[in-house]
Amino acid sequence: MQRRTLLGGLAGIAVGAARSSSAQTTSQLTTLDPNNREHLGLLQKKLIYSADDRPLIWWMRGKKYGSINGEITPLWTLNVLLFKAITHNDDGSFDARSMEIVYKTDVETDALLRSWRNPYNGEVYEEVPLIMGPLTRRFTSHGPVSQTALPGADIKRSGTLGPAEIAGDDVWLWSDSSVLVDRGDRGMFRANDLSTYHGKVSDVLNPNIQSAPATMTVHIIQSWHPWMNMGAQEGTLVTRIAGTKCFSVDDIHPRIRGLLREHHPSIAEDFVARLAGPPERFDR
């Protein structure tokens, strides 16, 4: 079987379509071993992504905090959408075409931020929704392949997959990444994303379920954004955010769905078409 190209895969996607090779692989498993690298790869595929070539969405809500000398200050509320389309390869790896949209809202009113005042230095900055991607990244049973491409910036992104924790029918999968973004004369920042995915072992082992119901919790520890102009002030940014996977815009959290339809109606109407398009330039 020849590898399907991304655009060809997107053009022919049916949300309910399944690849028989995936069903054959999972139907042979009756238990999951969290120390088995191939089983971790299966968890990655069915909890985070899909064992067939379907488009999917992750939505998440949470807050960004500043931390100086252990004291945290809420800065803004994060409303995040991750749109993804999957293409499987004959060697067992798969490619994920991903696009992220971030809407910042006020921590008190949840109104969309048009501007934001830095509580540490008093500066005020214009705020607009941020789109990153779409970009394609390859995944194996060892996790994501390192990434170096990001329009508008140099990026060094590496990731690790596992371990997993299993208790009864519950499974938690860790997937962490380290990112260094260099904007040249506009500065650089480093971020460490610590992601935990939760689902059911029975769903992962079920050959009739190609993408298992799952939730996601992410904690991000990062340096100050260069645009915050924090100078030599020591401190960090901390993110706590959580959400779930779905396959339709109608199933996105209502607050985030409303923001998407108001500010990016064409993406709300057909996010798969946008995933096939060129990436936005990273400008933060």
In-domain check, residue 65: yes
In-domain check, residue 131: yes
CA distance 261 to 252: 11
In-domain check, residue 263: yes
In-domain check, residue 126: yes
Long-range Cβ contacts of 257-260 (<8 Å, 24+ apart): 259/79, 259/103, 259/112, 259/129, 260/81, 260/101, 260/103
| pLDDT by residue, tens only, the chain of 284 residues | 333 333 333 333 333 333 434 443 445 788 999 989 999 999 999 999 999 988 999 999 999 999 999 999 999 999 999 999 999 988 888 899 999 999 999 999 999 999 999 999 999 999 999 998 898 988 887 777 755 555 656 778 788 899 999 999 999 999 999 888 776 666 777 899 999 999 999 999 999 999 999 999 999 999 999 999 999 999 999 999 999 999 999 999 999 999 999 999 999 999 999 999 998 875 55
Q: What is the pLDDT of residues 189-227, one digit of tens each?
A: 789 999 999 999 999 999 999 999 999 999 999 999 999
In-domain check, residue 168: yes
Answer whether 237's CB lies under 8 Å from 64's CB. Answer: yes
In-domain check, residue 74: yes
In-domain check, residue 30: yes
Which segments within 94-202 are labelled E, that is strand? 94-105, 115-117, 124-126, 130-140, 143-144, 147-150, 153-167, 170-182, 188-200
pTM: 0.85
CA distance 19 to 216: 25
Residues of the domain holding 71:
6-275
For 32, what's the count of Cα atoms within 13 Å in the CB-facing half-sphere?
28
Which segments within 20-129 are labelled E, that is strand? 55-68, 71-88, 94-105, 115-117, 124-126
Q: How many domains does the chain have?
A: 1
Q: What is the pLDDT of residues 104-148, one digit of tens each?
A: 999 999 999 999 999 999 999 999 999 988 989 888 877 777 555
In-domain check, residue 283: no
